[in-house]
């Protein structure tokens, strides 16, 4: 027992608050079990530091192996590759400060914009198409790629630190890190302007940070403890702010924390409930509140950078759009008066409510019967037939002074300004809509619509038809009405209707249905127009309309174009953007030629072609390191079998492995396995289109599980690797396993990884290959490289 | 917290861990024994680790007495029925029988999915092959019931509301079968609860709750599969419960019998509906838990563990699988005649279903061969083209997939322009040259002489960047261009013909056709073209096409220079049972996943737990059948599950703090009894969230049964320590409300009469949408309605005429019809299209007089191969039938129109318009009459043409 304690070095960490720790007894190497005095004054020369501190030397070596393949030929190709189209573009928009819309949170894209800004780039190039030349367009792609490469290179370094912190032998830590360094897919993703490397960095670093925190569990509520806890929360927040996949890391840490809390709760640990409460509260604040604040902060920055109108406007509500400087909605908009002829444009499908002198067929193909009334349809273009005169539901004095029942002017006298205010159409007004060319009024009634039997039919009836009168009254309900103001006499005045900048629903007063249309086309009798019908639930975006034009009025020659911009706070903007992101993310279900199913990822059944150059037979193709991926799958399989075996052994009253090995596997191995599973399995229940690059986080953690298996099979003196910080405490550790054969195996794994990496490197760096060379690399028939035959 | 108390709690916690480990009731979390101490002054021994079992063993002696507290008092005791229980059960059964079988023959109409399952029973009786998304057992049971009671399989259950009385369908007897099985759930529930150690009161309560659950009653009275599924589910759980009671006496005869019976019924449940898989999951989870926590304990010898393990593999995996496969074997051996399901299956499969005309064909394929190409993955038909054009894109001639054999399916393999140039000088052009892998060919449509063509234009329906349109291009005077060139890539062959791997061989070679210029593969994805394409299936050229859907096979080949009779032949392999089994499952899965359309009554799983709405099964003036549960049972069942989870969570947290609650000694029973049904509920509920297909309330019913038993057990366990009076009061109160609600909603369950007022009053949630308007108000009801005897016939006629579909009108839910339609021949070409076709034809004829010779309908042609003769005859028969049907339809349409007119006159239109309309209609009618007359004549002409067309084009163009 004592030897274990001695070897652990646990309470000799510099982090301990007491500081007065007894001399360490670390072990120089596995063979000589001598103790070394802790060096009070480390020598200054670098070689000496390195020779006496293997951990640091390993860290530096790892960094070199990590960085080199990532920056080699990073300036090639000088063309836009794959998704650089998107992310380069977004970086440019940040520099132009133009608003854009994307389904991913902003952090990673903002990070990409920083180096470009630093070299003085102004965002003039928009990365429109794959294959466009960077040099010609003056885009600072080199610094942007370098930034990504630095983030990418830090992943293996962090992996090294995690492994070393978790009590793995330095040799195993180094090899695991090198395996990650030499994985083709990870290298490829960190050489291009893509988000995944940045996200991966935050993911892996938050796990590292949590491990540092966990190791301080016997010194709770110290400064160090708080520091690492908060850092974990901050990094988690960053990971989520890069891509929503960061939530998987979040749930991993959640699992670890719950397990930790569960153990703290055990009464045999002498924790009182109040202490437990403190533990709980500290974690809740740091790991829930801090990430939320971080996430919000980045969006706050996002909104404060993007203040100008840009391509993302159209996704948003008019209120949101009007916040952006230069938006058309805030500038070119007219108020609508009763008696005006206006056209209604559908928001989702850009169609116009029209009617023509034709009637619905009496009977449809499926045997249902219509009202046989005049057709009301949604047409793609604005024609004379799509203008409707707005008449008040009940004619009031100001109106009858100037207009007749059909909305035409009685006299040519100018309308006095006081009645102008009265004549404006406002939120919640009851109106009738008179069709301009056929002089009928819009009506909806309880007859099934032509294509959608559950909804009501819209038709047009004679304006004098008294029976239909109540069916011709419609509310105009605004989508985001601002609060009613009070006029000088204290009467409430609702917001006025304006062209383009107001969205509203046309809701029937008697039937309580809202006019909607959808992309279904009517058959021949409807000239292929869209159906308009009354939807019972007046919600959703397919019932939203806006006024496109007012007949005879022009924005330029009117003085009433200025609008007061409605106030919209940060949270309102944030919530609207979140909703849109989720909606559009869920909509990404369209099949894509390179999409793949999660089950095929570990076997690497399909790659993705990023870029091809047929002149020189060069191509960039996403592919993992086949050897490494196969090894990590093998490692994960063996890990599960061993864990199951150990548990089953306990049932049978025997130990498969020694207690200390078991403990190490159950803690430091299981953490990686949980991370692997939590970053992989949730994809199985996702409905959207998935790509193999979604598997990258699991690749990293899969290599770490493999590392724990390497440790299990090659290293037998587990006692020596206890929980401490070798990198920073500069304690000399045993570097290599005892057995020479095991050293050879470890070397072999690394060598094979390096060789396969080199063999497939042309697909990473885009170097020329002859067709026969490409064919020889086609190990699976489903890897669809270009230029396989000629 | 005084230190004394804490110390005792710590001790308890310590003992309990060891108890848990030794009594194996819960997980052996060995971390309990780690002496890691938070907040201790000397955090020294983080690694001071002693394996769990050592300590466990040390304390075992001192704590084994405590086990009694935790152990389930019922476990190991054998199960016996007392006389009293038998009498009670008998009485309950008789009462339930009354409520379940009352008025079973009402309504005498086809209700809801009886449309499908009645029809399927008929198909079994007729032995015609069909395809359905459900496994066969339940449907075969209906067929057997029908057969026994004299159903001849002729009535076709076409639409909801058809009357049975005028037919000779023994529908009441067929309904008796599910009703009886539903009734059997009452004793099954009773025995299950008893076997799990429930008290007599709990048994009675549970079985009464099942009796008075409206949804069980409604669903078991109709020819639907769910009642059968629930029956087998219940039976399985019952035997499983009895098996668990025998665990103290393993490997005895009764133990084996119960184990095997569990397996057999699990197989039956699985063979009734795939939802049975959730049952397999439930039993599986419990078995694994059992094996892990009880059987593998170190006090049991390894030999014993082994025996236990293999016994369960035999009973719970091998037996159900055998049963499942067995029912499919029966299914395939019953259905031997060809039918509507043929089109879904591969040609190999079709050879096993009689009446199929797939015979052998010429083996070798050469340049110049006339071939018919079949799409391999979807069985959607043959590569087809006809003389009408796309209305989008290039406006060139359409190329489609067409599932029926006709003359437009033939293509001729041709050399490309380059090759022709090369070969022009030599005589090679006429030499027989096989098509090798990698060859570049052209495919010339035999009838229209257009080449299979693709270009960088978007396809008509699937509008994607990487998908190109495929059309027919060129003609006799124009040779086309290089966009007509296709590369042949053979992907697979057959070992029986080794050459099929590197050269094209009929039937055996599976190949892709890659467009040479665009590098896209000929592809089809079961997408229908619009009406101008006669709703045939779209064919496109897709870049990076998915593998299976770009694979084609040659189904028949002839060559003008080769004597057909002497040439070597190949034919489809006849698949064995397991090949058929697997293929039918692949198709069933595909169709099942394709059921994504929306239905008026579909619902999402979340809304089931609070019974948001039911399903309208059938309605008629004054009578409705609407599937709705008994709300109190429904809600309380869910509450019992939630409370189980909450209580377990609290208990576990309190254990960690050393309280070690025992719930008056019923904790283990609560865990093992309510827990099992909680898991059953979860396993039958949560997987639905992952399903994308349309779901209905009745999918929740198996979960509901688990919930009801969990409810009964919870009430039982929580009231054990209450005085018997209070216990009786609680149970009676629950029963009282159950009965009240049962009778309140029974009118919509039985489809009996009701009043509008009572109906409106009864709605607890506004979202329950059974229509109250159709019930007479109290005043009206007083005047009694008398039924007409011939009502049935009249109703049938009425239904045949189209009515205005009210959105709430029940419709059958199964979308397989849609799939079938996809495989059906294109609808008859209407006048307009026909004219267009004709004009196209005229143009075509005028364009190139030379080539037209070969296209002239040839009436005399003796030299057609036997295969085509068959086709022709079939087509003829089909045509004649079509004609007759058409006439009938036309008659009906006339009637419909008249009817409608009357209705509308009554209902909607203002009086002024009436006259006008009538006049209009008269005119229309006249016109229609004329049109109809024309039509009646036309088919004959068309028919002849058709027959003529069907004859294979002559081998050589005649001058």
Question: Do B521 and B513 meet the contact criterion of CB atoms below 8 Å apart?
Answer: yes
Higher pLDDT, B490 or B958: B490
pLDDT digit string, tens, across residues B130-153: 888 889 999 999 999 999 988 888
Q: Give the minimum alpha-carbon distance from A712 to chain B in angstroms, rounded to a whole number.
A: 18
Find residues 632-671 of chain A whose CB sits inside 8 Å of chain B.
Answer: 648, 650-655, 659-660, 663
What band does B643 get if pLDDT is binned at 50, 70 and 90? very high
Instruction: Please tell me if residue A790 touches chain B, with a CB cutoff of 8 Å.
Output: no
Are A659 and B50 an interchain contact pair (Cβ–Cβ within 8 Å)? yes
Rounded Cα gap, residues B682 and B281, in angstroms:
10
pLDDT digit string, tens, across residues A249-288: 999 999 999 999 998 988 888 888 899 999 999 999 999 9
pLDDT digit string, tens, across residues B152-197: 888 878 878 788 887 878 888 899 999 999 999 999 999 999 999 8
Residue B510 pLDDT: 87
Residue B849 pLDDT: 38
Instruction: Please tell me if residue A685 touches chain B, with a CB cutoff of 8 Å.
Output: yes
Asked if pLDDT for residue B956 goes beyond 70, the answer is no
Find residues 155-174 of chain B whose CB sits inside 8 Å of chain A.
Answer: none
Are A651 and B900 an interchain contact pair (Cβ–Cβ within 8 Å)? no
The structural domains of chain A, with segments of one domain joined by +, span 49-301+601-776, 333-554
Instruction: Please tell me if residue B563 touches chain A, with a CB cutoff of 8 Å.
Output: no
Question: Do A715 and A188 meet the contact criterion of CB atoms below 8 Å apart?
Answer: no
CA B24 to chain CA centroid, Å, is 41
Cβ contacts of A656 on chain B, cutoff 8 Å: none
Average pLDDT of span B481-509: 84
Asked if pLDDT for residue B806 goes beyond 50, the answer is no
What band does B955 get if pLDDT is binned at 50, 70 and 90? very low
3-state secondary structure B826-854: CCCCCHHHHHHHHHHHHHHHHHCHHHHHH
pLDDT digit string, tens, across residues A695-749: 999 999 999 999 999 989 888 766 665 545 555 555 555 666 777 888 899 999 9
Asked if pLDDT for residue A588 goes beyond 70, the answer is yes
Half-sphere exposure of A28 (CA within 13 A, CB side): 9
Instruction: Please tell me if residue B51 touches chain A, with a CB cutoff of 8 Å.
Output: yes
Instruction: Please tell me if residue A488 touches chain B, with a CB cutoff of 8 Å.
Output: no
Average pLDDT of span A298-307: 93
Cβ contacts of A453 on chain B, cutoff 8 Å: 805, 807
Are A8 and B47 an interchain contact pair (Cβ–Cβ within 8 Å)? yes
Tokens of B765: 């949630």
Residue B294 pLDDT: 79
Q: Which of B47, B52, B656 sits opposite A262 (nearest CB)?
A: B656
Task: Map residue A23 onto helix, strand or coil.
Answer: coil
Residue B845 pLDDT: 46
Task: Map residue B554 onto helix, strand or coil.
Answer: strand
Question: Do B262 and B239 meet the contact criterion of CB atoms below 8 Å apart?
Answer: yes
Task: Map residue A529 onto helix, strand or coil.
Answer: coil
pLDDT digit string, tens, across residues A560-586: 656 677 788 899 999 999 999 988 888
What band does B752 get if pLDDT is binned at 50, 70 and 90? confident
Nearest-Cα residue of chain B relative to residue A373: B909
The overall average pLDDT reported for chain A is 83
Instruction: Please tell me if residue A367 touches chain B, with a CB cutoff of 8 Å.
Output: yes
Instruction: Please tell me if residue A10 touches chain B, with a CB cutoff of 8 Å.
Output: yes
Q: Give the minimum alpha-carbon distance from A637 to chain B in angstroms, rounded to a whole number.
A: 20
Are B30 and A10 an interchain contact pair (Cβ–Cβ within 8 Å)? no
Torsion of CA B102, B104, B105, B108, to 10 degrees: 120
Are B900 and A369 an interchain contact pair (Cβ–Cβ within 8 Å)? yes
Strands (E), A538-660: 545-550, 608-613, 618-622
Q: Give the minimum alpha-carbon distance from B707 to chain A in angstroms, rounded to a whole number.
A: 26
Higher pLDDT, A595 or B640: B640
Find residues 347-406 of chain B whose CB sits inside 8 Å of chain A.
Answer: none
Average pLDDT of span A419-436: 82
Strands (E), B320-392: 361-362, 370-375, 382-389
Higher pLDDT, B622 or B579: B579
Task: Map residue A764 onto helix, strand or coil.
Answer: helix
Average pLDDT of span B497-513: 85
Instruction: Please tell me if residue A272 touches chain B, with a CB cutoff of 8 Å.
Output: yes
Q: Which of A367, A655, A784 sits opposite B544 (nearest CB)?
A: A784
Number of helices (H), then strands (E), belonging to chain B: the values are: 31, 17
What band does A595 get if pLDDT is binned at 50, 70 and 90? confident
Instruction: Please tell me if residue A22 touches chain B, with a CB cutoff of 8 Å.
Output: no
Higher pLDDT, A216 or B3: A216
Task: Map residue A145 onto helix, strand or coil.
Answer: helix
Residue A301 pLDDT: 95
What band does B356 get if pLDDT is binned at 50, 70 and 90? low
* Residue listed under structure tokens 């009408």: B388
Instruction: Please tell me if residue A6 touches chain B, with a CB cutoff of 8 Å.
Output: no
Instruction: Please tell me if residue B36 touches chain A, with a CB cutoff of 8 Å.
Output: yes
Instruction: Please tell me if residue B53 touches chain A, with a CB cutoff of 8 Å.
Output: yes
Tokens of B115: 């449309």
Residue A297 pLDDT: 96
Burial of B62 (0-12, 13-18, 19+ CB in 10 A): exposed
- Identify from B14, B38, B773 which residue to disrupt to test chain A contact, counting A C-beta atoms within 10 A and taking the largest count: B38
- Identify from A269, A373, A654 which residue to disrupt to test chain B contact, counting B C-beta atoms within 10 A and taking the largest count: A269
Find residues 644-673 of chain B whose CB sits inside 8 Å of chain A.
Answer: 653, 656-658
Q: Give the minimum alpha-carbon distance from A42 to chain B in angstroms, rounded to a whole number.
A: 28
Average pLDDT of span B278-292: 93
Average pLDDT of span A206-233: 92
Cβ contacts of A1 on chain B, cutoff 8 Å: 45, 48
Rounded Cα gap, residues A224 and A709, in angstroms:
31
Residue A643 pLDDT: 94
Find residues 562-621 of chain A whose CB sits inside 8 Å of chain B.
Answer: 593-594
* Residue listed under structure tokens 């040779």: B479
Q: Give the minimum alpha-carbon distance from B956 to chain A in angstroms, rounded to a whole number.
A: 39
**Please, where in chain B does CATH 2.80.10.50 lie?**
359-571
Cβ contacts of B804 on chain A, cutoff 8 Å: 368-369, 448
Assigned CATH topology for domain A333-554: Trefoil (Acidic Fibroblast Growth Factor, subunit A) (2.80.10)
Instruction: Please tell me if residue B692 touches chain A, with a CB cutoff of 8 Å.
Output: yes
Tokens of B594: 């394709």
What band does A113 get if pLDDT is binned at 50, 70 and 90? very high
Residue B561 pLDDT: 81
Nearest-Cα residue of chain B relative to residue A684: B690
Residue B278 pLDDT: 95
Higher pLDDT, B902 or B170: B170
Nearest-Cα residue of chain A relative to residue B545: A593
Q: Which residues contact A609 (CB under 8 A, 6 or more apart)?
A: A594, A619, A620, A621, A622, A784, A785, A786
Residue B35 pLDDT: 39
Q: Which of B13, B39, B47 sits opposite A267 (nearest CB)?
A: B13
Asked if pLDDT for residue B207 goes beyond 50, the answer is yes
Q: Is the peptide bond before B107 cis (omega within 30 degrees of 0)?
A: yes
Share of chain B above pLDDT 90, in %: 26
**Length of chain B in terms of residues written:** 959
Asked if pLDDT for residue A42 goes beyond 60, the answer is no
Q: Give the minimum alpha-carbon distance from B613 to chain A in angstroms, rounded to a whole number.
A: 17
Average pLDDT of span B562-576: 82
Find residues 522-541 of chain A whose CB sits inside 8 Å of chain B.
Answer: 523
Asked if pLDDT for residue B272 goes beyond 50, the answer is yes
Note the maximum CA span of chain B. Answer: 116
Tokens of B401: 């997939």
Residue A258 pLDDT: 94
Q: Give the minimum alpha-carbon distance from A716 to chain B in angstroms, rounded to a whole number.
A: 17
Torsion of CA B594, B596, B602, B603, to 10 degrees: 110
Asked if pLDDT for residue B41 goes beyond 70, the answer is no
Rounded Cα gap, residues B170 and B166, in angstroms:
11
Instruction: Please tell me if residue B777 touches chain A, with a CB cutoff of 8 Å.
Output: no
**H/E stretch holding A252:** helix A246-265
The overall average pLDDT reported for chain B is 76
* Residue listed under structure tokens 């059997």: B184
Asked if pLDDT for residue A658 goes beyond 90, the answer is no
Asked if pLDDT for residue B807 goes beyond 70, the answer is no
Residue A726 pLDDT: 55
Rounded Cα gap, residues B80 and A94, in angstroms:
78
Higher pLDDT, B879 or A548: A548
CATH number for the B359-571 domain, one of 2.60.40.10, 3.40.50.300, 2.80.10.50, 2.40.40.20?
A: 2.80.10.50
Are B43 and A220 an interchain contact pair (Cβ–Cβ within 8 Å)? no
The CA-to-CA distance between both ends of chain A, in Å, stands at: 70
Nearest-Cα residue of chain A relative to residue B910: A467
Asked if pLDDT for residue B29 goes beyond 50, the answer is no
């Amino acid at each position: 027992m004592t030897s274990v304690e001695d070897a652990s070095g646990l309470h000799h960490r510099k982090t301990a608050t007491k500081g007065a720790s007894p001399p360490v007894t670390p072990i120089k190497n596995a063979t000589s079990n001598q103790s070394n005095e802790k060096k009070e004054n480390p020598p200054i020369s670098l070689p000496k530091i390195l020779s006496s501190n293997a951990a640091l030397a390993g860290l530096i070596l790892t960094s070199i192996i990590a960085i080199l393949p990532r920056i080699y030929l990073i300036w090639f190709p000088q063309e836009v590759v794959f998704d650089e189209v998107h992310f380069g573009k977004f970086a440019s928009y940040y520099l132009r400060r133009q608003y854009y819309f994307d389904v991913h949170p902003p952090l990673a894209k903002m990070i990409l914009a920083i180096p470009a800004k630093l070299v003085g780039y102004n965002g003039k190039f928009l990365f429109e198409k794959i294959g466009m030349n960077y040099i010609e367009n003056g885009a600072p792609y080199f610094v942007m790629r370098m930034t990504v490469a630095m983030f990418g290179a830090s992943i293996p370094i962090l992996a090294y630190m995690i492994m070393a912190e978790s009590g793995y032998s330095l040799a195993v830590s180094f090899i695991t890190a090198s395996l990650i360094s030499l994985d083709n897919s990870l290298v490829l993703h960190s050489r291009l302007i893509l988000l995944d490397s940045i996200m991966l960095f935050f993911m892996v670093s938050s796990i590292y940070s949590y491990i540092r925190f966990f190791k301080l569990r016997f010194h709770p509520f110290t400064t160090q403890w708080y520091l690492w806890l908060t850092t974990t929360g901050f990094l988690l927040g960053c990971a989520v702010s890069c891509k929503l996949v960061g939530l998987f890391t979040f749930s991993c840490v959640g699992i670890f924390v719950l397990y930790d809390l569960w153990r703290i709760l055990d009464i045999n640990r002498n924790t009182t409930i109040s202490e437990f409460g403190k533990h709980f509260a500290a974690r809740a604040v740091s790991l829930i509140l801090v990430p939320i604040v971080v996430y919000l902060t980045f969006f706050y920055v996002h909104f404060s950078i993007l203040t100008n109108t840009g391509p993302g406007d159209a996704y948003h509500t008019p209120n949101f759009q009007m916040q952006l400087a230069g938006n058309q909605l805030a500038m070119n908009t007219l108020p609508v008066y009763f008696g005006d002829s206006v056209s209604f444009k559908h928001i989702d499908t850009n169609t116009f409510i029209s009617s023509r002198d034709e009637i619905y067929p009496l009977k449809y193909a499926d045997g249902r019967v219509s009202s046989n009334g005049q057709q009301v349809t949604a047409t793609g273009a604005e024609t004379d037939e799509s203008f409707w005169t707005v008449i008040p539901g009940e004619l009031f004095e100001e109106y009858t002074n100037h207009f007749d029942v059909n909305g035409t002017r009685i006299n040519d006298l100018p309308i006095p300004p006081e009645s102008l205010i009265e004549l404006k159409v406002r939120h919640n007004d009851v109106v009738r809509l008179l069709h301009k060319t056929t002089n009928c009024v819009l009506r909806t009634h309880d007859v099934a619509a032509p294509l959608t039997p559950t909804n009501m039919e819209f038709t047009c009836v004679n304006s004098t038809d008294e029976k239909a009168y109540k069916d011709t009254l419609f509310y105009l309900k605004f989508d985001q009405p601002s609060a009613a103001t009070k006029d000088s006499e204290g009467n409430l005045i609702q917001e006025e209707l304006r062209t383009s900048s107001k969205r509203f629903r046309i809701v029937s007063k008697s039937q309580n249905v809202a006019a909607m249309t959808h992309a279904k086309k009517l058959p021949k009798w409807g000239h292929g127009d869209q159906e308009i019908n009354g939807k019972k639930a007046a919600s959703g975006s397919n019932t939203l309309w806006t006024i496109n034009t007012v007949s005879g009025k022009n924005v330029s020659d009117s003085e009433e174009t200025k609008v007061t911009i409605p106030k919209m706070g940060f949270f309102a903007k944030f919530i609207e953007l979140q909703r849109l992101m989720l909606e559009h993310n869920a909509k990404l279900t369209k099949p894509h030629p390179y999409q793949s199913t999660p089950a095929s990822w570990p076997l690497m059944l399909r790659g993705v072609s990023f870029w091809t150059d047929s002149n020189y037979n060069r191509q960039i193709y996403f592919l993992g390191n086949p050897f490494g991926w196969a090894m990590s799958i093998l490692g994960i399989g063996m890990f599960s079998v061993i864990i199951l075996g150990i548990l089953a052994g306990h049932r049978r009253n025997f130990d498969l492995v020694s207690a200390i090995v078991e403990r190490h596997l159950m803690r430091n191995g299981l953490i990686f396995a949980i991370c692997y599973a939590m970053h992989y399995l949730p994809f199985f229940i996702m409905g959207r289109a998935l790509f193999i690059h979604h598997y990258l986080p699991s690749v990293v953690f899969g290599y770490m599980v493999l590392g724990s298996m390497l440790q299990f099979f090659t290293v037998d003196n587990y006692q020596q690797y206890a929980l401490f910080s070798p990198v920073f405490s500069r304690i000399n550790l045993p570097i290599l396993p005892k057995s020479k054969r095991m050293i050879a195996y470890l070397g072999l794994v690394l060598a094979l990884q390096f060789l396969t990496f080199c063999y497939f490197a042309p697909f990473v760096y885009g170097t020329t290959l002859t067709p026969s060379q490409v064919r020889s690399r086609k190990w699976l028939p489903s890897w669809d490289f270009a230029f396989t035959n000629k | 917290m005084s230190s004394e108390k804490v110390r005792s709690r710590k001790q308890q916690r310590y003992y309990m861990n060891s108890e848990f480990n030794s009594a194996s009731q819960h997980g052996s979390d060995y971390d309990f024994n780690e002496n890691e101490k938070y907040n201790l002054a000397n955090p020294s021994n983080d690694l001071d680790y002693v394996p769990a079992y050592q300590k466990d063993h040390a304390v075992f002696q001192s704590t084994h007495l405590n086990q009694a507290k935790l152990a389930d008092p019922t476990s190991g005791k054998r199960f016996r029925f007392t006389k009293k229980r038998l009498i009670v059960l008998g009485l309950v059964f008789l009462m339930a029988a009354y409520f379940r079988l009352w008025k079973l023959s009402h309504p005498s109409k086809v209700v809801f999915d009886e449309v499908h399952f009645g029809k399927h029973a008929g198909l079994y009786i007729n032995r015609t092959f069909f395809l359905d998304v459900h496994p066969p057992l339940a449907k075969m049971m209906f067929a057997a019931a029908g057969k026994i009671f004299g159903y001849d399989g002729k009535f076709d259950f076409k639409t909801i509301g058809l009357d049975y009385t005028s037919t000779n369908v023994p529908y009441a007897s067929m309904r008796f079968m599910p009703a009886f099985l539903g009734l059997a759930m009452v004793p099954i529930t009773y025995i299950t609860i008893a076997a799990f150690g429930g008290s007599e009161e709990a048994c009675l309560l549970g079985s009464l709750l099942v009796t008075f659950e409206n949804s069980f009653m409604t669903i078991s009275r109709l020819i639907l599969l769910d009642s059968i599924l629930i029956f087998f589910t219940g039976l399985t759980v019952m035997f499983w419960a009895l098996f668990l009671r025998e665990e103290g006496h393993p490997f005895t005869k009764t133990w084996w019998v119960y184990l095997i019976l569990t397996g057999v019924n699990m197989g039956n449940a699985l063979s009734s509906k795939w939802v049975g898989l959730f049952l397999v999951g439930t039993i599986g989870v419990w078995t694994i838990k059992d094996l892990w926590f009880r059987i593998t304990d170190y006090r049991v010898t390894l030999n014993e563990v082994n025996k236990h393990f293999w016994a369960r593999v035999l009973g719970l995996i091998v037996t159900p699988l055998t049963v499942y496969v067995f029912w499919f074997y029966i299914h395939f051996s019953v259905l031997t005649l060809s039918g509507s399901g043929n089109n879904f299956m591969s040609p190999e499969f079709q050879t096993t279903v009689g009446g199929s005309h797939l015979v052998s064909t010429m083996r070798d394929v050469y340049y110049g061969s006339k071939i018919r190409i079949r799409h391999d993955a979807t069985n959607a038909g043959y590569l087809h083209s006809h003389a009408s054009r796309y209305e989008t894109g290039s406006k060139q001639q359409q190329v489609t997939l067409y599932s029926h054999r006709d003359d437009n399916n033939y293509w001729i393999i041709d050399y490309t322009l380059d090759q022709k140039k090369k070969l022009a000088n030599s005589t090679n052009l006429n030499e027989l040259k096989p098509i090798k892998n990698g060859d570049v060919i052209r495919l010339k449509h035999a009838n229209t002489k257009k080449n299979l063509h693709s270009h960088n234009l978007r396809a008509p329906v699937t509008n994607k960047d990487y998908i190109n349109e495929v059309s027919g291009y060129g003609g006799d005077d124009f040779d086309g261009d290089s966009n007509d060139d296709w590369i042949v890539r053979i992907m697979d062959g057959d070992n029986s013909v080794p050459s099929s791997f590197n050269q094209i061989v009929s039937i055996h070679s599976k190949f892709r056709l890659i467009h040479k210029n665009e590098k896209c593969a000929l592809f089809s994805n079961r997408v229908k073209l619009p009406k101008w394409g006669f709703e045939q299936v779209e064919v496109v050229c897709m870049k990076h096409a998915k593998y299976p859907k770009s694979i084609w096979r040659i189904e028949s080949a002839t060559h003008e220079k080769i004597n057909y009779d002497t040439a070597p032949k190949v034919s489809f392999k006849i698949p064995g049972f397991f090949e058929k089994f697997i293929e039918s499952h692949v198709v069933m899965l595909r169709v099942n996943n394709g059921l994504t359309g929306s239905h008026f009554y579909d619902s999402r799983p979340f809304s089931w737990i609070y019974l948001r709405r039911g399903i309208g099964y059938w309605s008629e003036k004054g009578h409705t059948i609407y599937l709705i549960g008994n709300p109190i049972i429904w809600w309380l069942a869910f509450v019992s599950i939630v409370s189980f989870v909450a209580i377990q969570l609290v208990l576990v947290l309190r254990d960690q703090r050393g309280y070690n609650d025992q719930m008056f000694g019923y904790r283990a029973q609560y865990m093992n009894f309510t827990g099992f049904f909680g898991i059953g509920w979860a396993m039958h509920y949560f997987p639905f969230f992952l399903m994308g297909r349309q779901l209905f309330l009745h999918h929740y019913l198996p979960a509901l049964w688990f919930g009801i038993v969990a409810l009964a057990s919870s009430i039982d366990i929580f009231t054990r320590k209450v005085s018997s009076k209070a216990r009786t009061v609680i149970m009676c109160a629950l029963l009282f409300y159950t009965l009240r609600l049962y009778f309140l909603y029974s009118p919509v369950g039985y489809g009996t009469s009701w009043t509008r007022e009572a109906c409106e009053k009864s709605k607890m949630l506004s979202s329950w949408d059974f229509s109250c308007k159709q019930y007479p108000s109290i005043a009206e009801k007083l005047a009694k309605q008398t039924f007409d005897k011939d009502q049935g016939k009249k109703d049938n006629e009425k239904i045949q005429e189209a009515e205005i579909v009210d959105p709430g009108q029940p419709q059958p839910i199964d979308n397989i019809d849609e799939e079938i339609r996809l495989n059906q021949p294109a609808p008859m070409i209407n006048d307009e299209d026909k004219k267009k076709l004709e004009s196209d034809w005229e143009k075509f004829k005028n364009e190139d007089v030379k080539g037209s010779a070969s296209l002239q309908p040839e009436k005399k042609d003796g030299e057609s191969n036997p295969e085509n003769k068959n086709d022709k005859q079939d087509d003829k028969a089909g045509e004649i039938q079509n004609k007759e049907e058409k006439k009938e339809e036309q008659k009906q349409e006339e009637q419909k129109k008249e009817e409608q007119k009357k209705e509308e006159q009554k209902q909607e239109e203002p009086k002024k318009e009436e006259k006008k309309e009538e006049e209009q209609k008269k005119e229309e009618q006249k016109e229609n009459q004329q049109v109809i007359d024309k039509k009646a004549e036309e088919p004959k002409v068309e028919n002849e043409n058709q027959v003529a067309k069907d004859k294979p084009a002559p081998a050589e163009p005649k001058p």
